[in-house]
Structure 1
Amino acid sequence: MSSSLRRGALAAAAIAFSIASLAACGAGSDAQTLQVKPDNAAVKVGDIQVQNALIITQPDPQASGPAVISATLFNNGATAQTVDSITLPNVNQTAQIKPAKGNGKLVVPAHGSVVIGGQGNASAVLPSGREAVQDGSVRKITFTFSKTGDVSLRGFVVPAESYFTKWGPSTVPTTVPSASATPTKGASGSPRPSNSASAPASATPTGSASASASAG
């Protein structure tokens, strides 16, 4: 996909996502404001409706690591349903699902809704998402519910930039292991001086330890 087409796809996804999200906040899935189908991933099967389905990748295109799925799930039925799995069948990716609070399965309450993605909401993480999908493409997403079964639709793949920053994964740090190893060596070497030197070191943080090392 060319860069111009990619930018157009991301812009269209952002506009549709923001409009549909505002509508979902103010009304149920069957309200009049939602009768206009948004120009993004949305589908209804039985009592279940899925809207605003997106795959959001790392903001840095060179970074490896997880991606996340963002969506709003509506249950118009009288019985609560659990989300048993969320998969990208064409690339053999299965999301790790966590509810907003506690453990166990993600539950969509009867006549209620659940938001996946964003701070304080449920999450669906694809461990190898960056390696499996490409920004600007469209992928099949399958949500499996306890009663309704499989609900599939196609969602845009977008990076966690601009509007999508608060919905996407954070950049995976790559220097944490080397940084944690360096203080360990310094800490193991600092207690070796005589007792008179070790007393100030225990009372003062790392600054005194580094000073004594430079003096030696």
Structure 2
Amino acid sequence: MSRSLRHGALAATALVFSIAALSACSAGNDAQTLQVRPDNAATAVDNIKIQNLNIITQPEPDAEGPAVIAATLFNDGTKREVVEKVTLPGTRATVKLQAAKGKGPLVVPAGGRVIIGGKNNASAVIENGREAGANGNVQTVAFTFSETGDIELGAAIVPATSFFEGFGPSALPSAKPTAKPSDSTSETPGEQSEAPGEGSESPSATGTPTDEAAADH
């Protein structure tokens, strides 16, 4: 076999092994959550790896409400890492962190991982979603870890549709506030609510045309 043919065979073998390895990874625990898409940001600093990072906004472009950060954090070290804060540099947005069980700090255990976003997972909520930026843009996200320090990387801003629907904001705003049924039935018989600025004076005290006519006579 010629040298060029041997090189081609080796390259083909390596490609087969690479595809097999990727297929095995995707079939692991919680494969849907760990699925790596080519447009998702990822980085590694010391013992921390961040994968599948996105900012997910409301499904409708003109909807008001929160946005969320979705990511998977891996800790390959021997000490636990606490996510002390997450910020969006260059914006006025604030990010509220919450552990999966709702209590205590957001911890990435030693040799383990934490999923942010999605049902029953930890959450990172941007209360005013519009502060995160427009869909289609890339926004820098800064994670501050107790041991590793700050890690920054760009996240794509995407709406909570299609693949991202299950990871989007869980608290969607209602279209318009509606009046409670009790508002129109809470008055007791014989009582009448007054509109703002209206007093309880009788009509005769307000100078009606009838009063002026009586004064002329």
Structure 1 residue ranges, 4+ long, deviating more than 4 angstroms after superposition:
36-39
Question: What do residues 36-74 of structure 1 show as CA deviations (whole Å, max 9, x unaligned)?
Answer: 995420000011000000000011111122100000000
Partners of 1:110 and 1:25 in 2: how far apart?
A: 23
Q: For this pair of structures, how many residues does the alignment match? A: 163
Q: TM-score, normalised by structure 1?
A: 0.68
Could you report, residue by residue, the CA deviation over 1:138-168 in whole angstroms, capped at 9, with x for unpaired residues?
1111111000000111110000011111100
1:114 aligns with 2:121: no
Q: Distance in 1 between matches of 2:134 and 2:159?
A: 9
| 1:184 alignment partner in structure 2 | 182
| Structure 1 residues 116 and 37, CA gap change in structure 2 (3 angstroms) | closer
Answer yes or no: is 1:141 the counterpart of 2:106: no
Q: Is the 8 A contact 2:93 2:131 kept in 1?
A: no
Mapped partners of 1:86, 1:110: distance in 2: 20
Q: For residues 90-117 of structure 1, give each alpha carbon's deviation from its aligned partner in whole angstroms, at most 9, with x where no partner exists.
A: 2132310000103121000000000000
Q: Secondary structure at the match of 1:188?
A: coil
Between the aligned residues of both structures, percent identity stands at 48
Secondary structure (helix, strand or coil) at the match of 1:166 reads: helix
Tell me which moved more, 121-130 or 107-116.
Answer: 121-130
Flag the structure with larger Rg: 2
1:110 counterpart SS class: coil
Which structure 1 segments of 5+ residues have no match? 1-19, 28-33, 194-216
Q: What's the RMSD between the two structures over aligned residues? A: 2.6
Corresponding residue number in structure 2 for 1:167: 167
5 Å-filtered alignment, 1:55-204, equals: 55-170=55-170, 171-176=172-177, 178-180=178-180, 183-189=181-187, 192=189
Distance 1:148 1:179 in 2: 51
CA distance in 1, matches of 2:26, 2:164: 17
When residues 162 and 74 of structure 1 are mapped into structure 2, their CA distance, relative to the original with a 3 A threshold, is same
- SS of the aligned residue for 2:101 comes to coil
Task: Give the aligned residue type for 1:97.
Answer: L
Cα distance, 1:128 vs structure 2 = 1.2
| 1:171-216, Cα deviation, whole Å (9 max, x unpaired) | 311423x333xx1223314x749xxxxxxxxxxxxxxxxxxxxxxx
Normalised by the length of structure 2, the TM-score is 0.68
Is contact 2:132–2:139 with CA below 8 Å preserved after alignment? no
- 1:63/1:130 contact within 8 Å kept: no
Residues in 1 aligned to 2:26 and 2:123: alpha-carbon distance in whole angstroms: 18
